[in-house]
Amino acid sequence: MQVTRPARTVDTLPSIEKPSTSLDACGLTDVGHVRHTNEDSYLIATLQRSIVVHDASPAGRGWFPGEAAGTLLVVADGMGGQGGGDVASRVAVSTVSSYLLNWMPWSVAGQASRTGSLPGVRDQLSSAVVAGDQTVRSTGAQSGAPRMGTTLTMALVLGSMLYVTHVGDSRCYLLREGQLRRLTTDHTMAQRVEEASHEPLAPDSQLHHILWNALGATEDVPQPEIVKLTLESSDVILICSDGLTKHVTDAEIAAILSNGRPVAERCKTLVERAKAGGGTDNITVVVARSPGANGRAAPPSA
């Protein structure tokens, strides 16, 4: 329902600080040295119920937050050139985040904080990806860019639980006690060939650049890869587009994420390192530090 403000002057709503994310998180994106357009998008958000009052007696004016249920981190790397890839990545990020916000069962938000899990999370994450795919396709058809598409890698943190949902060749990493673990698989034709042949392809093979799983750009419905694990207090999460991993090795990423500096500085260092290595693509990174999850055993799978 659309709410229309009365056509009269009212007192300014009091300034109320909006909630911060439950993770210490920061993101950074850069066009790089070669591309003219940045087709990457990212999002760091708290999923939280709230009431926004449009008009009321003075005592009732303001912005009233409810309990935060989760934190969402998203990176999308668009494809399709100017007016295509940049639109696809923005549309995908907007659609999946809106879907998850509208799905979140606020009446049991406290359960998420206590147990780190809500019923049907995996199904809803898959449905969010499908919704994003449909919106990218319809937007492309309407704008005359039917082949535009995007990768999508997102992390949903509920209490101490981390759900990673992934389509494409952007990546999500977890740094734990100095050890870097990649949580996602590159959904490229090269990955499929290597799995079948058990032999690595040459780094310059064009198959590394062809995605079999993406939003909007393939013939098939996307097949999201979903990983669930329990966060520990020392954990650092990195989500990045392939503009980073083309030029920065896993060992270098681990060293940067382990340096103990503020997450904003770690983001900046990662982007600078990728640009120093060539910067042949857009570079986007989101770094988040665990707020101190207690490492308890994971609850039953959702």
Cβ count near 253 (within 10 Å): 23
Q: pTM of the predicted model, to two decimals?
A: 0.85
Q: Which domain holds residue 82?
A: 24-31+68-289
Residue 16 lies in a domain: no
Residue 91 lies in a domain: yes
Residue 80 lies in a domain: yes
Residue 107 lies in a domain: yes
pLDDT number for residue 294: 36
Q: Is 9's pLDDT higher than 70?
A: no
Q: Is 18's pLDDT higher than 60?
A: no
Q: Is 8's pLDDT higher than 60?
A: no
185 near 170, Cβ under 8 Å? no
What number is the average pLDDT over the span 55-72? 72
pLDDT tens figures, 210-258 = 899 999 988 889 999 999 999 998 899 999 999 999 999 999 999 999 9
Residue 19 lies in a domain: no
Residue 15 lies in a domain: no
Name the residue among 71, 105, 76, 49 with its Cα closest to residue 302: 105
Residue 50 lies in a domain: no
Domain count, the chain: 1
pLDDT number for residue 16: 41
> In the numeric block, which tokens belong to residue 179?
């050890």
pLDDT number for residue 130: 97
Residue 11 lies in a domain: no
CATH number at residue 144: 3.60.40.10
> How many helices and strands in the chain, by DSSP H and E?
7, 11
